[in-house]
Amino acid sequence: MEKIKVEIDLLKLEIDVIHKKLLVFLGGVTGTWIYGLKFAQNDNLVASILIFIFFGIFTIGTFASVTKLSRVEKDIKNISKRLRDDIL
């Protein structure tokens, strides 16, 4: 039972870190999208390419964070299953 409590505490910390990363990445995606629309109207090719690169990086980071959250969700389901099995 103590081992499960430690696992739950570790998962809480991991969720907190992933959540903070996700907020940063989503802010980056939104910001680069807005500036990308602004620079797309201008003929500044270098700025458009840089913004596209940053948009890609932030998008990949967001996808990775969501993937990690789904893994944590599976871990939580496994822990709850083990708890139910221990109680029964």
Distances in Å between the Cα of 14 and the Cα atoms of 35, 57, 74, 75, 81 are: 32, 22, 13, 11, 20
**What local confidence, expressed as pLDDT, does residue 23 receive?**
93
With a pLDDT cut of 70, the percent of the chain lying above it is 99
Enumerate the domain spans of the chain.
2-87
Q: What is the mean pLDDT of the chain?
A: 87
**Per-residue pLDDT at 40 exceeds 80:** no
Please write the tens of the pLDDT for every residue from 48-73. 888 889 999 999 999 999 999 999 98
Contact 61, 28 (CB under 8 A): yes
- What is the gyration radius of the CA atoms in the chain, in angstroms? 20
Instruction: Report whether pLDDT(31) > 80.
Output: yes
